[in-house]
Amino acid sequence: MGTCLTVIKVVGTTSLGIYAGVIASNLSNYGIMSHVLKTATVATSEKATGLVLGKIKTTGALLASLGTIATGAFIMAYTQAPRALKHPYLIYASLVAPLTSIIYLGLTRPHLHQYCELKKMKKQRQAERPASKKHKQEVISELDNSTYKDLGDVLTTSDEETPSAQTTSTGDEDSEAEQEVELHLAQKSLLDTLYSVHLGDYINVAISTLGFVVATVGLYGDY
């Protein structure tokens, strides 16, 4: 029983140490990912966003796995240990992962929610654009086929073609302006999310490191 408890405690302590190390390594990634977002253009925005979100999701999944292992190991060690070995450090160490997860969630949730809303609005606008473009083409076609064109007046024909070209040009400019605005809003939302994660890293690296030290000292003190 004693050997089994020792193995469980070692697994929990090791997982907690790796957990703290992963958070510490994230501190150096903030500058790189923020630079990727700030330098993204309309053409490269999807790729840049995918890279940043992919990194956040991968790190989150890794931390969730390590945190689950560490928390489960410490809880198991505490519940299975004899009364004399139910030390408080096992409880403290088991709370590190849940506490840091709550901090991450509290800091990033508002910005991620805003980003999701922006993505939803963007999809709605993209769905509306074909219908709007088709409507404009129908209006232009009606003008071209109107009775004014049948008069055969060259000046009238020239005057009618010019507004059509201007309408198309204006539509393209409006579309580009909308894309620029969407890119700016998406970048700002993701940059805010990155900053929140970065702030959470600073807080959580201290908490997880302290938890790892407490677990290590407690494990050493048991034997």
pLDDT of residue 140: 52
Count of C-beta atoms within a 10 Å radius of residue 220: 9
**Could you report the per-residue pLDDT of 76-124, keeping only the tens digit for each?**
999 988 887 788 999 999 999 999 999 988 888 887 777 677 677 666 6
Q: What size, in residues, is the chain?
A: 223
What DSSP character marks residue 223? -
- Cα angle 198, 199, 205 (rounded to 5 degrees) comes to 85
**Could you report the per-residue pLDDT of 41-73, keeping only the tens digit for each?**
766 677 877 888 888 889 899 999 999 999 999
Q: Which residues contact 76 (CB under 8 A, 6 or more apart)?
A: 8
**Could you report the per-residue pLDDT of 153-204, keeping only the tens digit for each?**
544 444 444 444 454 455 455 566 666 666 667 777 778 888 888 899 999 9
pLDDT of residue 182: 66
pLDDT of residue 91: 92
For the full predicted model, state whether its pTM sits above 0.75. no
Tokens of 83: 């009364």
Tokens of 158: 């020239």
Q: What are the domain boundaries of the chain?
A: 2-222
